[in-house]
Structure 1
Amino acid sequence: MAKTRTQVAIIGAGPAGLLLGQLLHNVGIDSIILEARDRVYVENRIRAGVIEHGSAQTLIEAGVGARMQREGLIHHGIELLFQGQRHRIDFQALTGKYVTVYGQHEIVKDMIAARLATSRPLHFEVENVLLLDIESDAPRVIYRKDGVEHEITCDFIAGCDGFHGISRDAFPKGAITGYEKTYPFAWLGILAEAPPAGEELVYAQHERGFALFSMRSPTITRLYLQVEPDEDPANWPDDRIWEELHRRLETRDGWRLNEGKIIQKGVTAMRSFVAEPMRHGRLLLAGDAAHIVPPTGAKGMNLAIADVRRLSQALQAFYGRASQQGIDEYSPQCLKRIWKAQQFSGWMTSLLHCFQEDSMFERKRQSALLDYVVNSRAAATGLAENYVGLPYEETLSE
């Protein structure tokens, strides 16, 4: 068995694991990143791409935001569409902040390139990963790579391997509780080779179901439709998709989508999940390994960035000042932000979607709430503050 020693073993090479590795490298903390998939798969996983103001600044400060700054699309607001009329929520006027639209897979590409440039280990296609001795001061990671058994001894293990990864299951039985909510619908998402028909995202509430107009670049449009939770994308030929998108996103002022070749199609489940606590011994969870939010509020990747930002600072304090405080505070402090994001994402979802049990009373109540949001500066500010990202709290007290 090949044996290695490092300070932090990171499980998963998604946004959370890669950013954590970069932040640790910047302060001289050694790490090894292990990923079950191959590099091509990891770099081409299409996910959401709305980056909060603070998340973008974190990426820039970490040294992995240069291409995002060149190619990302700055959005100073969004539009809410209901009853055929669009209403703009002006982030800049309400909060002085903005969001950046830049594909998550592009961020991953940037961070993989940065990781490889550091010469710190990043291993793809690892198998049979086991996390051992997590309650000790010297946890171990066992894995197989190219037919060879490996053992890593480390100080900490960061579980950044997503909802279906192995890290959360490594907690002892009874040491962790999962809180979950499943929504009675899903999103059918497409990528189309078509110039976006507008400069900002449009969230549409319609009697036939929610729809979202978004974009990935000046030539690629991203669009979503509310569908049944068990919907088969094969039931949605291109013509049907465009017909339904036009219907749900039509406006009184004649604004219309630009059609183009659909190059990707898939269904995204709508659910919420939170694991408490996010730490046991020397194993700490981050990103989707610890929480899932419905995509309506665009919080998934942003929560992962907030997690590893806090975790990296806690580890820096541990190694630099021999302080355990940040490690002890990691889970409760992260969970404060996570539950606020769950509240906002759930609120946005209920504001814009049709539910199976909806009565006419509920639909009229929903319309009244939308009218209040777009006509009340206080209500619009609440939406804007959450969407651009709540401020980071002080990570560690001195």
Structure 2
Amino acid sequence: MRTRVGIIGAGPAGLLLSHLLHRRGVESVVLENRSRDYCEQRQRAGVVEHGVAEVLRESGVGSRMDTDGLVHHGIELRFDGRAHRIDFPGLTGRDVMIYAQTEVVKDLIARRLADGGQILFGAKATSVEDVETDSPRIRFERDGEADVLECDVVAACDGFHGIGRRSLPSGVARTFDKVYPFSWLGILADVAPSCEELIYAHSERGFALHSMRSPEVSRLYLQVPNGTDPADWSDERIWDELSARFALRDGDWTLERGPITDKSITPMRSFVTEPMRHGRLFLAGDAAHIVPPTGAKGLNLAMHDVTLLAEAVAAWDEKGDTALLDSYSDDALRRVWRAEHFSYWMTTLLHRDPEGGEFDHRLQVSHLNRIAASTAAATELAENYTGIPLV
């Protein structure tokens, strides 16, 4: 097989890259180890930044998002028994969309197939070769048969555990890593959300987040110790703990309870690989970087990566201009490190460090009070949360 751009991974990054390239007349093939059903069902992020939503709309895959998604104009911070709202449009002129990553993936798969795009599900990439030449190739297995995809560019959008990053030659890349001393216990519940916008709660008992997937489905998270087994948490215990962490002093709020349909543990980690390009191999999304989910940046960073990469490949394809390809890693990493800092800041601001003490807790409350009292501090949070404009 031969194509212009070989893409490993049919997550949102790989699919959007293939879609954007198609719109510029550049051929691609997407190799995905999992089945289509798996890709369309796995639960991931649900917050879409303002700029990413615009990319989806402008490229013709945003109509269902605008119909079924939920526009959010802010978030609520809860701390010290009080609530404070961050007004996104008032502070930045922007908003965010609540639209599950699974739905983004469904939209992109449907559009690529409707446009005649090639997505090979059940195709496991086994090696990436000759990336320092003009003719790299991806070896893969499908239906028990070995095959080769020859291409001009390889885009590794295959996640943290994928083969893409591991294909960088020894000594080429540097990695930067931080593992946090807590995880999230996440649940899906068949109950209408108890809030109109996301609630980020800091409490002496630990962090909690109230989100949603739809007007009928709630998504909630609890800070728990690393190594927690979801089976140790009964439904009643989860709801009781969530209620305690979201509690307000005036008591004028109730957490609605309902059937819990899914429980999972999410470890908290920050990770960056530099550079994000070597020869004809380009990394995007979780293949290059991981952020803790507190700042809602994982999906959005991946989409920004491939927006840059699609423009760079198109300029090379149309004009023979390699300037954007050559600057891709530096351009992408500027946004990556900004998002890494914001995600780290949100995480350390809102979670209780199990090794910290009352001094650390008082500093957190002081900073939260500053955000509530200062337009400048609130604006800094809102600008980063809604997404720094793509430049």
Structure 1 equivalent of residue 20 of structure 2: 23
Q: How does 1:100-249 map to 2 (within 5 A)?
A: 100-127=97-124, 129-249=126-246
Name the structure 2 match of 1:276.
274
Partner of 1:396: none
Structure-1 residue corresponding to 2:376: 378
SS at match of 1:22: helix
2:11 corresponds, among 7, 11, 14, to 14
Q: Across the two proteins, how many residue pairs are aligned to each other? A: 390
Determine the structure 2 residue equivalent to 1:35.
Answer: 32
Q: Do the aligned partners of residues 217 and 61 (structure 1) sit closer, same or farther apart at CA in structure 2, a change above 3 Å counting?
A: same
- State the TM-score, normalizing by the size of structure 1: 0.97
* One-letter code aligned to 2:136: P
Separation of aligned partners in 1, 2:135 and 2:43: 36
Q: Which amino acid aligns with 1:346?
A: Y
Partners of 2:31 and 2:125 within 8 A in 1: no
The Cα of 1:334 is off from its aligned counterpart by 0.4
Q: Please give the secondary structure, in 2, of the residue aligned with 1:167.
A: helix
Q: TM-score, normalization: structure 2? A: 0.99
Give the Cα–Cα distance (whole angstroms) in 2 for the partners of residues 379 and 369 of structure 1: 9
Instruction: Tell me what 1:353 maps to.
Output: 351
What do residues 291-323 of structure 1 show as CA deviations (whole Å, max 9, x unaligned)?
000000000000001000000000010011100
Q: Which contiguous aligned blocks of 4+ residues in structure 1 show a shift greater than 4 angstroms? A: none
Once the two structures are superposed, residues 321-375 of structure 1 have per-residue CA deviations (whole angstroms, 9 ceiling, x without a partner) of 1001011000011000000001100111111000022111111111111000111
Q: Secondary structure at the match of 1:354?
A: coil
Q: State the secondary structure of the residue aligned to 2:163.
A: coil
List runs of 5+ in structure 1 lacking aligned partners: 394-398
Q: Larger deviation: 252-261 or 307-316?
A: 252-261
Unaligned runs of 5+ in 2: none
Q: Which residue of 1 aligns with 2:319?
A: 321
- Tell me the residue number matched to 1:258: 256
> What is the CA distance between 1:191 and its match in structure 2?
0.5
Q: Deviations over 1:228-258 (max 9, x none)?
A: 0110001101010001000001113421111
Amino acid at match of 2:363: R
SS at match of 1:356: coil
CA contact (8 A) 2:212 2:218 kept: yes
Q: For 1:45 and 1:62, how far apart are their aligned partners in 2?
A: 24
SS at match of 1:215: strand
Residue type of the alignment partner of 2:323: Q
- State the Cα distance separating 1:128 from its structure 2 match: 5.1
The residue identity in structure 1 corresponding to 2:247 is: E
State the 1:111 CA deviation.
0.5
Q: Which amino acid is 2:77 matched to?
A: L
Among candidates 369, 381, 385, match of residue 387 of structure 1: 385
% identical equivalent positions? 54
Measured on the aligned residues, the alpha-carbon RMSD in Å equals 0.8
